[in-house]
Amino acid sequence: MAKLTLAACQFPVTGDPAANAGYVLRLMRRAARRGAHLAHFSECCLTGYPGIDFASTADIDWAALRRQTERVLQAAGELGLWVVVGSAHPLSGAHKPHNSLYVIDDRGRLVTRYDKLFCFGSAGPEPTLDFLHYSPGSEFITFDLRGVRVGLLICHDFRYPETYREYKRRGAQLVLHSFHNAGLTPAESRYYDAQVRVATQAAAAANFFWISVTNASQPQAHPSFVVDPTGMIAGRLRPHRPGVLITEIDTEAGLWDAAQYWRERAMAGVLHSGEAVSDPRSADRTSL
């Protein structure tokens, strides 16, 4: 039986890595006290988001960010807690950094890293939005914890259902999807709240896996929540407040997978169930 206790964590992210790390450490301790095996944090939660919480990734003090990340690594080992935390990962030369999720195990070791696949905006000689700050990643990442296979996504990745489907192909049972939908107008906040909920609920139900959605918690940010494999919201934090949402992830909970009969065949490109009939009345589409 595969079970793990997940803590989805949110706090008001800023452009100050030391302040952000302080929040991360406090919520890690709270998650550990509540029996969590894994704490999941939002996109860019250590650095803040460039263009919103600070001007540009060109302004990041990488040595200071490394010191704060090492505090998180040490605390994970001390607490015996796995942690997925949003940050930026520097590259060499003139390459812009990745927008990343670091995966830290319960011994305080960095075990892998996911880099946001779909940066938002236009690339090329006159980049816009995310491409002003980041280089996109190109790899899907999974890790196994307590018998549960976990996949990782970041923010704009949710616009592409193929990302969820690829994790299904790779056997994911839980997808940790980190967002930074903050610093918005009230209208933008309502839009993203609805869009993210609809997309992740549909993806969970279509692929029959759990999805943890974390976000920052400053004003006009939609709250973090967890979706179960039937597409129902299993729990949701209060908006605009720091918090920890505890969810028991049980991959054998007896939930009904409505697409279990034909999903594998659909993924292989056969887009109907059963056997196709050969009948002239089936082929004739202009008669009653």
What does DSSP say about strands 142-145 and 110-115: parallel, antiparallel, or unpaired?
Answer: unpaired
Could you tell me the pLDDT band of residue 241, with boundaries at 50, 70 and 90? very high
Q: Is the pLDDT of residue 1 over 80?
A: no
Least trusted range by pLDDT, from 81-85, 103-107, 189-193: 189-193
Per the structure block, which two tokens stand in for 133? 């700050």
Strand-by-strand arrangement of the 98-104 sheet:
110-115, 98-104, 82-89, 38-40, 3-10, 243-250
Please give the pLDDT value at position 71: 98
Averaged pLDDT of the chain: 96
On whether the CB atoms of residues 84 and 40 are closer than 8 A, the answer is yes
Q: Is the pLDDT of residue 62 over 90?
A: yes
Q: Is the pLDDT of residue 69 over 70?
A: yes
Q: What percent of the chain has pLDDT over 90?
A: 94
Return d(Cα 110, Cα 94) in angstroms, integer: 25
3-state secondary structure of 205: helix
pTM confidence score: 0.96
Q: Please state the rounded mean pLDDT for residues 189-195.
A: 92
On whether the CB atoms of residues 172 and 212 are closer than 8 A, the answer is no
**Could you read off the pLDDT of 149-175 as tens digits, one per residue?**
999 999 999 999 999 999 999 999 999
Which domains does the chain carry? 3-258 (3.60.110.10)
**Could you read off the pLDDT of 113-137 as tens digits, one per residue?**
999 999 999 998 899 999 999 999 9
Return d(Cα 212, Cα 167) in angstroms, integer: 14
